[in-house]
Amino acid sequence: MRKYLAVPVLAFVTVAASGCGTQADKRVLEELGMISVMGFDLEEGRSEEEVNSNRTTVLFPVINPRATVEEEVLSVTSRSNNSRQELSRMTDRKLVFGQLRTAVFNARIAENGLLDDLDALLRDPTLGTRVKLALTDHNVHDLLTFKHPAIPRIGRYIDLLLEKESIHLFLPRSNLHTFYRDLRDDGIDPVIPIINPSTDSIKLDGIGLFRDDRLAGRVKAEEMPYFVMLYGDFRQGVITVQVGQTEFVTLTALRSERDVRIRRKAGGALAAEIRILLNGSVVEDFGYKNHKTKKSWEELIRKINRKVEEKCERQIRLMQKLRADCIGMGQYARRLYSYPEWKKLDWRETFADMDIRVKVDLHVKDFGVYP
Amino acid sequence: MNEKLNAFHIVILIHMTQVGVTIFSLPRICATHFGTNGWIAILPIGLVVFANVALIHAVVRLGGGRSLPEMLGLFLPKPVYGALLLGMSCMYALSACLTSKQYVLMYELQSFPATRPYVFRAGIDILIFFLVIIGIYNLSKAVTVIFFSTIVIPFTLLSLYDETELVRYTPFFLKEGTDFMAGCFEVYAAYLGFEISLFLIPYVGRSTRWFRGVYVANTVTTVVYLILSIIAFGFFSYGQLRDMLYPLLEMTGHVQLPIIERVDTLMFTFFFLVALVTATLYFWIATELFSYVFPKLDKRWPAAFLITVTYFVSSIPNELDLVTGWLRIMGKVAIATAIALPLLLIGGMLITRARRAKAS
């Protein structure tokens, strides 16, 4: 008899549980606007009284087979983070942020500090912290409405572009988590990649260097590999090095390992040596010279090493000038100090005055099949 | 003759009671209260917990197979220990209910912001009721299943190894901590659950060898807590760790599986089972204590009574912070009980023994 009592009880629980999800929490896939990219533009006030405001642009795929567009773009201007309500009034879909993959900021917003804008993203529990971050020099709205026959879905395109580059670690991984992690670490400053539209596509156009949450400067697109060598290890890269007036060498399948050695000199000043171990193959030697002998190969490698060192050191000088320690020298320097010493230290200034040398050691696995 | 619990089940039972909702915030607690490299504090606190467990071990040996009310009956008059047991019963029932409430509030935060919690909680409470009344032996089987479906989680976190860096730990130890004592209490509270061993006495065999299981469970818990916190301190920067509410959830959000995106929401549902077990076992203790006082009553009645009453009591605090605050207070009371009760029992039994020796 008692066993049969379980049936009505279970039935009650089932009914109660199904009533548990109220209408407000119900989500029907076809009725959702699953935002894949969010963009933020700065709109400057025209007069003195008018304060600057942000234009928020969101982009979500349209799941209707009869729709002629693949993605819908909505955009509103607002002074605070209430843009979400305004956006939801503009569409018949229920906007959800759980599938957000990328947040794009206009570089001018970043120059004034990103933390205020990131706060809304970090706080939202429906968002994962793997949301990728990107900067652009152009209008974000224009970037997200970029039309090209080969790019049907710009949201996915941007996501894959950033993903592909960071898998090979040719671009430092940059998402909400890494940004906030480096921001709240006193030994490193964050970085965010820059993407810009060009005539044919949207391309990766450099790396933004931050001092705290403000954009301080940037690494140019062609210098990115050298920055990444200083930043950490990468697994598969390509660089072209100009070794002479007319001679260019291209290295592929490049792996790099970074080794930071830091010490205090007699006067208390810091000296660091960043050793970069490169491993790759030479596939192109433009301005062809015949390197038949071992000696001439060694000469070539030496030239490449020197060239890469030079390029890397230029990046370091840039960061020192900006007082932005984006390669995390501080994380290594911490161990040379006691806790009170480190807290008293003005790390930015110490970093700027630091003597940092780069030593590159290239190992060429092979010289291609027609050496 | 009833079936007896064996050491293996005891390990799982106690480990699962220990691991509760605090596990979500443990690395953050270590970071805020102990400061840089705060994970290291888990070790000494774990050792103190071992001492506490040893205290209970001494009680079990002195008692020689007597159950808790029998031991108390040796040296306390019935009304006194009856009141004591009822008081403890209320405390454990309230802790249990707050644990499930905390989980529900977190679930709301995470997944169903608009759903009203009381329906969901009622569902959980009914489930708990059915688990409590099946008796500890069947319960331990259910817990074993849950154990094996959740023990993988700390190990999936090991895949975050790539993103942890040695330099992120900083060379400084226990600097910038805000409140060392508060931290000790909270981490100690994360270990609570071992005191259930006091109530298992009637369900194990005559020898006291089963008690080794309690030590093993404590070791397993320490290892899980350490793995979790060590990974968290390398994965997050110290400042970041202090700023976040639930580091464990954040970390599961970064575990990538080949097919599923946003595993964290899925994992969170698994954690439901962890919270459920903790709440269920605390309710079980409360029910046991209640039925010590009213031995003739069918155990289903006290279980239903306690679950219903605490359901309404724990409806009072409505904000996550408030519930966490209540839990913290309950944690302190429970710690005091876990230390004072064995001491009382040891003292009482030693005195009784001495008196008897004198009399004979």
Q: Which CATH number do you get for residue B272?
A: 1.20.1740.10
Cβ neighbours, 10 Å, residue A143 = 23
What mean pLDDT comes out for the span B170-187?
A: 92
Tell me which chain A residues have a C-beta less than 8 angstroms from the C-beta of B116: 22
- pTM value is 0.89
Smallest Cα distance from A156 to chain B, Å: 15
B25-39 per-position pLDDT tens digit: 999 999 999 999 999
Q: Which residues of A touch B110 (CB under 8 A)?
A: 125-126
* pLDDT at residue number A220: 93
Which of A181, A189, A262, A344 to mutate: most B Cβ within 10 Å? A181
Report chain B's terminal Cα–Cα distance, integer Å.
Answer: 35
Instruction: Report CB contact under 8 Å: B253, A342.
Output: no
Residues of B in contact with A22 (CB under 8 A): 114-116
Q: Work out the angle between the directed axes of helices B135-150 and B7-18 (0-180°, nearest 10).
A: 70
B115 and A185 within 8 Å at the Cβ level: the answer is no
Q: What is the average pLDDT across B287-307?
A: 92
CB contact under 8 Å between A128 and B113, yes or no, is: no
Which residues, 6+ apart, have CB-to-CB distance to B302 below 8 Å?
A: B89, B286, B287, B290, B291, B294
What pLDDT does A371 receive?
Answer: 61
A266-286 pLDDT, tens per residue?
Answer: 888 899 999 999 998 888 776
pLDDT score at A239: 85
How far apart, in whole angstroms, are the C-alpha atoms of residue B358 and residue B337?
31
Judged by a CB distance cut-off of 8 A, whether residue B134 touches chain A is no
**Domain contains B2:** no
- pLDDT tens figures, A52-101: 678 889 999 887 778 788 888 888 887 666 788 888 888 888 888 888 99
Contact assignment for B250 to A24 by CB distance below 8 Å: no
> With an 8 Å Cβ cutoff, are A130 and B243 in contact?
no
State the Cα angle at B130 between B124 and B135, rounded to 5°.
130
Torsion sign, CA atoms B205, B207, B209, B215: positive
- Residue with the bigger pLDDT between B107 and B212: it is B212
Pull the structure tokens for residue B140. Answer: 């331990």
Q: Are A90 and A29 in contact (CB under 8 A)?
A: no
The per-residue pLDDT for A324 is 95
Which of A13, A19, A342 is opposite residue B126, by nearest beta carbon?
A13
B 231-260: CB under 8 A from A: 236-240, 242-243, 250, 253-254
Q: B246 vs A127, B11, B148, B159, B264, CA distance in Å?
A: 14, 27, 23, 19, 12
CB B127 to CB A13 under 8 A? yes
What lies within 8 Å, CB to CB, of B169 at 6+ separation is B36, B37, B233, B234
Residues 6+ apart with CB under 8 A from B32: B38, B177, B178, B183, B242
| Range with lowest mean pLDDT among A162-171, A230-239, A329-338 | A162-171
Q: What integer is the mean pLDDT of B342-355?
A: 93
Nearest CA in chain B to A126: B110
- Cα separation, A301 vs A306, in Å, equals 9
> Across residues B309-313, what is the average pLDDT?
90
Tell me the chain B residues in contact with residue A130 when contact means C-beta distances shorter than 8 Å.
Answer: 253-254
In chain B, residues with a C-beta closer than 8 Å to the C-beta of A180 are: 240, 243
pLDDT at residue B1, as a whole number = 45
Shortest Cα distance, chain A CAs vs residue B167, angstroms: 6
Average pLDDT over residues B7-31: 93
* Overall size of chain B counted in residues: 360
Cross-chain CB nearest to B254 (options A9, A126, A177): A177
**Chain A interface, best mutation among B165, B172, B173, B231, by max A CB count within 10 A:** B172
| Residue that wins the pLDDT comparison between A7 and B12 | B12
CA quadruple B166, B168, B172, B175: dihedral sign: negative
CA B82 to each of CA B70, B88, B104: distance values in angstroms, whole numbers, following the listed order: 11, 10, 33
Q: Collect all residues of chain B within an 8 Å Cβ-Cβ radius of residue A126.
A: 110
| Residues B172, A9: C-beta atoms closer than 8 Å | no
Alpha helices (H) along chain B: 7-18, 26-29, 42-63, 68-75, 78-110, 117-133, 135-150, 152-156, 180-191, 212-235, 238-243, 247-254, 263-293, 300-313, 320-359
Let me know: does B163 contact B254? Beta carbons within 8 Å.
Answer: yes
B204–chain A nearest CA distance, Å? 29
The two three-digit tokens of residue B254, written as one number = 């970064």
Residue A45 has pLDDT above 50, yes or no: yes
B239: nearest CA in chain A? A184
Selection from A320, A326, A328, A331 nearest residue A354 by Cα: A320
For residue B13, pLDDT over 50 is answered with yes
List the domain range (segments joined by +) for residue B165: 7-345
Min Cα–Cα distance to chain A from B163, Å: 10
Distance CA B124, CA B103 (A): 10
The DSSP secondary-structure symbol of B266 reads H
- Of A97-101, A119-123, A125-129, the one with minimum mean pLDDT is A125-129
Reading across the β-sheet that carries A214-219, which strands appear in turn? A71-78, A53-61, A37-43, A102-106, A132-136, A191-197, A202-211, A214-219
- Look at residue B265 and tell me whether its pLDDT is greater than 80: no
Over residues A172-207, the pLDDT tens digits come to 889 999 999 999 999 999 999 999 998 888 999 999
What per-residue string of b and e applies to A263-276 under the rule 16 or more CB within 10 Å gives b?
eeeeeeebebebeb
SS3 B176: strand
The residues pairing with A363 across neighbouring beta strands, listed in sequence order, are A279
Please indicate whether, in this complex, the C-beta atoms of A128 and B238 are within 8 angstroms of each other.
no
Between A206 and B267, where is the model more confident? A206
Rounded-to-integer distance, Cα B21 and Cα B350, Å: 37
Confirm whether B350 is domain-assigned: no
Q: What is the bridge-based pairing of β-strands A32-34 and A94-96?
A: parallel
> What pLDDT does residue B111 have?
74
Pairing of the two strands A270-286 and A355-364: parallel
Q: Domain count of chain B? A: 1
User: Which residues have a Cβ under 8 Å from the Cβ of B178 and sit 6 or more positions away?
Assistant: B32, B33, B35
Q: Does B356 touch chain A (CB under 8 A)?
A: no
Most A CBs within 10 A among B115, B254, B256, hence the mutation to make, goes to B115
Structural domain includes residue B273: yes
Q: Calculate the average pLDDT of chain B.
A: 90
Lookup: tokens for A288: 């062809």
> Could you tell me the two tokens for B219?
């070791």
Is B359 part of any domain?
no
Three-state DSSP string of chain A: CHHHHHHHHHHHHHHHHHHHCCHHHCCCHHHEEECCEEEEEEECCCCCCCCCEEEEEEEEECCCCCCCCCEEEEEEEECCCCHHHHHHHCCCCEEECCCCCEEEEEHHHHHCCCHHHHHHHHHCCCCCCCCEEEEECCCHHHHHCCCECCECCHHHHHHHHHHHHHHCCCCCCCEHHHHHHHHCCCCCCCEEEEEEECCCCEEEEEEEEEECCEEEEEECHHHHHHHHHHHCCEEEEEEEEECCCCCEEEEEEEEEEEEEEEEECCCCCEEEEEEEEEEEEEEEEECCCCCCCHHHHHHHHHHHHHHHHHHHHHHHHHHHHHCCCCCCHHHHHHHHCCHHHHHHCCHHHHHHHCEEEEEEEEEECCCCCCC
The pLDDT, as a whole number, for residue A88 is 85
Question: Is residue B43 predicted with pLDDT exceeding 80?
Answer: yes
Determine the residue type at B326.
W
With a cut of 60, say whether residue A19 has pLDDT above it.
Answer: no
Interface test with B, best of A97, A119, A129 (most B CBs within 10 A): A129
Mean pLDDT, residues A132-150 taken together: 90
Question: Token match 């955009």: residue?
Answer: A75
Domain A222-371 classified CATH 3.90.76.10?
no
- Other CB atoms within 10 A of residue B184 CB: 17
Closest CA to B167 of B37, B279, B61, B54: B37
Q: Do B115 and A24 touch (CB under 8 A)?
A: yes
A:B CB pairs within 8 Å? 78
Q: What is the pLDDT of residues B214-263, one digit of tens each?
A: 999 999 999 999 999 999 999 999 999 999 999 998 898 888 777 776 67
ipTM for the whole complex: 0.88
Would you place residue B107 in the very low, low, confident or very high pLDDT band (cuts 50, 70, 90)?
A: confident
- Which string of DSSP letters, residue by residue, matches B14-58? HHHHHSSGGGGTHHHHIIIIIBTTGGGGHHHHHHHHHHHHHHHHH
pLDDT on residue B80: 93
Chain A CB within 8 Å of residue B170 CB:
yes
| Residue B258 DSSP SS3 | coil
By C-alpha distance, the chain B residue nearest A177 is B236
**Look-up: residue for tokens 């090979």?**
A168
Tell whether B120 lies on the interface with A, counting CB pairs under 8 A.
Answer: yes
**Facing residue for A20 by CB, picked from B123, B237, B262:** B123
Min Cα–Cα distance to chain B from A63, Å: 19
DSSP state, residue B192: T
Can you read off the two tokens belonging to residue B257?
A: 């599986």
A175 CB burial (10 A radius; 0-12, 13-18, 19+): buried
Tell me how close the Cα of A354 comes to any Cα of chain B, in angstroms.
19
| Phi and psi angles of residue B139, each rounded to the nearest 5 degrees, phi first | -60, -40
- Residue B329: is its pLDDT beyond 60? yes
Q: Do B250 and A129 make contact, defined as CB atoms within 8 angstroms?
A: yes
| Contact list, A14 vs chain B (CB under 8 Å) | none
DSSP letter for B114, please: T
Distance between CA atoms of residues B38 and B230, nearest Å: 9
Mean pLDDT across chain A, nearest whole number? Answer: 85
Instruction: State the smallest CA–CA distance between residue A106 and chain B in angstroms.
Output: 25
Tell me if chain A has a CB within 8 Å of the CB of B127.
yes
Of B112, B171, B243, the CB nearest to A334: B171
- Are the Cβ atoms of A185 and B237 closer than 8 angstroms? yes
Residue B55: half-sphere exposure toward Cβ, Cα within 13 Å: 19
Mean pLDDT (whole number) for A23-29:
71
Per CB-CB distance under 8 Å, the chain A contacts of B236 are 181
Q: Which residues contact B64 (CB under 8 A, 6 or more apart)?
A: none
